[in-house]
Amino acid sequence: MGGQVTAPGDAATYARPFTRGRLLAGYVGVLAFLVGAVVLSLILGHREHAQPAVGGKYSSTSACLSKFTLQQSGTFVDASGPGSTGGKLRLEHHRLKGHVTCSGGEGAALDVPVPTSEPKTLSGTLNGQAFQATFTEALPPPGASAKKPPKRSGEETFGRLMLAIAAVILAARLVGTALGKIGQPRVMGEVLAGILLGPTLLGAVWPAAKDYLFPADIVPLLSGAAQIGLAFYLFLVGMELDPRLLRVNAARAAFVSNTSVAFPMALGMLVAAPIYRLLAPHKDYLPFALFMGVSMSITAFPVLARILVEKRMLKRPVGALAMASAAIDDVTAWTLLAFATAVASASSSLGWLKVVGLAAAFTIGLVVVVRPLLARIAVAYDEVGYVPQLWIGTIFVGVLLAAYVSRQIGIAAIFGAFVMGLIMPRHAGLTSDVSRRLEDFVTMVLLPLFFVVTGLKTQIGSLNRPILWLLCVLLIGVAVAGKWFGAMFAARWGGMRLRDSAAFGALMNTRGLTELIVLNIGLDLGLISHALFTMLVVMALVTTFMAGPALRLLDPKEELSAPPEEEFRRARLEGPVPETIVPQRSIIVAPQDDTSVDALIALGEPLARSQPARELILVRLVRSSRSAACTPAQSRSRHPTRAPISSASRPSRTSTS
C-alpha cells in the first residue's frame, strides 16, 4: 500500500517505499500530537477570559473628551476624536487605563473601571477628576465608512457603482501584471491591489479619493457582488477538483495532506491561548481557538495550481504530490471551517451538534438526491456538444440555493457552493464548457471586488504599537512552522528526500486567496478582532509571496521542474490533431438495424477503396432525450448549417485510398 511511484524521476525523489507500517505509525504520531495540543489548548484557554466590549462612540461633559470613539482589539483600545484628540489605552483586569491627548493638546491620565457586560456608561477618573461618558452609537461594520450615506437616485447609485468596479478592475489588472513580471502569482497582485485601495495606502495618502470611490452606500453593493463571486468561485474550485489526482500514491497524498493540516491546526490552537487574552473579541474560547487552528492550516489550491503550472512542476513527482495533497487539503479546510462556524453560530453549548447534524444531512442530500439529477447534464452535453441554456440556468440556481441553505443551517454560505461543485459530473468537455462561461467574469470582475472589500477592512495603521508587530511576527512564525515544516516532515516520513521535502513544504505553505476568504468569514462572525484580522492578512500575503523565492533557493537549477523542451513535446502531443484530407466524394451507410451493419460495410468498403478514393460514412440515428431539449432558435444560432446531433450519432468517418 502506498508503494513506490513509477513515474519518471521518482527514484530521485523518494528515498524509500511508504509501507503500511510506516503509514500507520505516522498517523498514530500525528493524531497523538493533535489530540495533545487540542487538550492543552482547552485547558489553558479555559482559564482565560476575553475582555468586555467597549468599542463605540461616546459623549461626555468633559472639556478634554467631549466626543470620542473607542476602537477595540482585545486589550488594545485606541481613542480618537475631533482634532488632535486621541490616545492608546489598555483594557486589563476590567480597567481601561492610559494617557489621552485632549482637544486642547494637553495630556491627561484616564482610569475607568469596565463591568463584565457591555457598558452603556463609562465612569471613572480623567486626570484625577470624575469622568463619565455615555455610549451614543455603535461602530460601523468593518470596511464600511463612518460617514452617513448621501441620498442618491437609482441612476446616480448605479453610476457610482460602475465607477468603483472599473477602478477595482483596472487596479487589479495593473498590479497583477506587475507582480506577474517578478515571478509572483497574478492573483496575489490582485489581492495586493485591493488592499492598497483601502485605508492602508489610498486612504492614508489621498483619503478624499478613497471616500469618493468607495462611499458608504456603495460598499455594501460591492460586498454583495463579491459574495456572489465567492460562491461561484468556490463552485468552480469544487468542480475542477480532479479525483484522478488521488489515484497515484493515494495513501502518501492523504497522509501528507492530513499531516500538513493537523500540524498547523495544533500549533494554531496552542497559540490561541495567549492571543485570546490579548486580541480576542468578546467571544467564547472554543470557537476562537478552532478558527485560529483553521486559519493556520489553509493551503490555497488554485494559487498552488497556478504556481505549479508556471514552474513546470505539475507533471513532476513533487508537484504532482503537492497538487493531490492540496486537493485533499481544500476539502478538509472547508469542512473544518463549516465546523468552526457551526460552533460559533450555535446559540447554546450543545447547539453546534444540531448545526453539524443539519450540515451533514444537507451534504448527504446533495450527494444522494441532487447528484443523480446533475448527471443528466453529461447526457445533454454528449447529445448536443454543449451545455444547453436550460441546464446552465439550473446549475446557477443550484449554486445560489446551496449557498442559501448553508447559511440558513448556520455554516458558511460558500460551503454549499463548494459541495455543489464537488457533485458535478466529472466530464472534461462539460467542465470546460461551464468554466468557460463562468470563469472570466468571476475572476476578472467579481473576485477583485472581494479583494477590495478585504482591503477596506485591512488597516495596517491599526498595528500602531511594537507589541502588535511582535505578535504579527509570532503568528507568521507559527504559520510557517506549522504548515511548511509540518508538510516537510510528512513528505520526509513518506519517503521523499530532504531537498524535495523542503520544496514540497514551501508549496503547501501557500495560503493566498483561500486564507482571505476564511479570515473574512471569521471577522464577519465576530470571531477575530480588527487588529488580529490585519495580522492574519499580512501572514497570508507573506506566506504566499515567499513560495517563489523559497523554490528558487531550494532548486536553483530547476531540477524539480520539467525541462522546457519536454513541456514543448507534451504540448505538441496533447495539442489538437491535424485535420486529415477528406475525399470529395463519400459513401453513406445507413443501416436500419444493427444486424445489417457488417453486410453493408462489406459492400461499401470495396467501392470506397476504388479510384477516386471515397470516404465511408456510417450513420446511425439516435433520438435525443428531453434533457438535451433546446429551442429551435437556439439550435439554429449555434449550428447554422446543421441540426445538433449527439456524439454517438455523428458519422464515423473512415477514409480509405
pLDDT tens-digit map of 360-388: 999 999 999 999 988 888 888 887 778 88
Among 101, 7, 13, 121, CA closest to 58: 121
pTM score, whole prediction: 0.81
CA distance 563 to 312: 8
CA distance 420 to 400: 10
Question: What are 484's three cell numbers?
Answer: 511548511
pLDDT tens-digit map of 213-246: 999 889 999 999 999 999 999 999 888 877 666 6
Q: Are 272 and 455 in contact (CB under 8 A)?
A: no
With b for 16 or more beta-carbon neighbours within 10 A and e for fewer, the 558-572 pattern comes to eebbbeeeeeeeeee
Q: Are 545 and 510 in contact (CB under 8 A)?
A: no
With b for 16 or more beta-carbon neighbours within 10 A and e for fewer, the 42-67 pattern comes to eebbeebebbbbbbbbbebebebbbe
Contacts of 119 (CB under 8 A, 6+ apart): 52, 54, 135
CA distance 592 to 237: 45
CA distances from 631 to 626, 628, 643, 650 (A): 12, 10, 11, 20
* Res 247: pLDDT: 63
CB atoms near residue 494 (< 10 Å): 25
* Res 568: pLDDT: 62
Amino acid identity, residue 179?
A: L
Q: Is the dihedral of CA 182, 190, 542, 259 positive or negative?
A: negative
Residues of the chain with confidence (pLDDT) below 70: 1-15, 118-119, 145-146, 243-249, 347-350, 565-584, 594, 611, 620-657
Q: Are 38 and 269 in contact (CB under 8 A)?
A: yes
